[in-house]
Amino acid sequence: MSADKEIKNNSKKTYHGHRERLRNKFSKSGFQGLHDYEILELLLTYVIPRRDTKPIAKELLEKFASVSGVLDADTEDLQTVNGIGKDAARYIKILRETIAKYFQSTALQRKVFLKLEDLVNYLKATIGGKSNEVLHVLYLNSKNELLTAENLGEGTVNEAAAFPRRIVESAIRHKATSVILAHNHPGGLSEPSVNDDVITGAINDALKTVNIDLQEHVIISDDGYYSYRKNGHFD
């Protein structure tokens, strides 16, 4: 066997052994004790079978700053990282959408958000990573149980002239007694704009005409969140 071939085989054995150690570590205690790059490294082993994924994971973190930043990144941006091809980028986006689906499903099963923190975590998972502004609406019954939730298109909330009518129609159709609004500020601050306040007021007024309560409006952004109720708008 040539020296180059022997080195290649030894290298292959090394990263395969490292993969097994990572997987065994995860099997014993989940992500506890794993660095962020190791979490990404482990995930990538399932879609990049014949390559050391550690340097790829580290480059992803360097470019996107966090695990959530990686999951929220566009497939085109992901592919600018050495080692991330179309399949790996698609795999990462599938993981992101699976997480969103999980939070949506558990919210509907749980039926009620007991704390603002629960609502914010749900919203971060469902609309926090969107590249465009999305208005997300939750419809609740008299027991404050979640009946259903929907996105009213994806574009910008600045183009929201039809939202009050659509929300009232959906609330009546689902027999809701109250509504929670949420939208995201991609790449921006969570503070509401003048337009956000105008839209919130218009939706609130429209719901009042049919005796439906607007409970909350939450804005999700990279820097955190803004709660209209917590800041005294619905007192």
Give the integer Cα–Cα distance in Å for 161 and 75.
31
Residue 106 included in any domain: no
What type of residue sits at position 140?
A: L
Residue 146 included in any domain: yes
Q: Look at residues 38, 63, 98 and tell me which one is the last residue of a structural domain.
A: 98
Listing from the earlier edge strand, what are the strands of the sheet with 133-140? Answer: 146-155, 133-140, 178-185, 213-221, 224-227
Residue with tokens 């939070």: 103
Interval 13-53: pLDDT, tens: 455 677 788 888 888 878 888 889 989 998 998 898 878 88
Do both 42 and 117 map to the same domain?
no
Do both 135 and 214 map to the same domain?
yes
Global confidence as pTM: 0.65
Interval 192-211: pLDDT, tens: 988 889 899 999 999 999 99
Residue 66 included in any domain: yes
Give the integer Cα–Cα distance in Å for 168 and 209.
9
Cβ contacts of residue 80 below 8 Å, gap of 6+? 63
Do both 66 and 17 map to the same domain?
yes
Is the pLDDT at 97 greater than 50? The verdict is yes
How many folded domains does the chain comprise? Answer: 2
Is the pLDDT at 185 greater than 80? The verdict is yes
CATH of the domain at 210: 3.40.140.10
CATH of the domain at 94: 1.10.150
Do both 63 and 136 map to the same domain?
no
Containing H/E element for 11? helix 3-29
For 202, the 3-state DSSP assignment is helix
Beta strands, E only, 133-202: 133-140, 146-155, 178-185
- 8 Å CB contact between 178 and 136: no
Do both 69 and 119 map to the same domain?
no
The range of the structural domain enclosing residue 151 comes to: 113-227
Interval 101-126: pLDDT, tens: 777 776 666 567 778 888 888 888 88
Longest dimension (CA), the chain: 83
Residue 175 included in any domain: yes
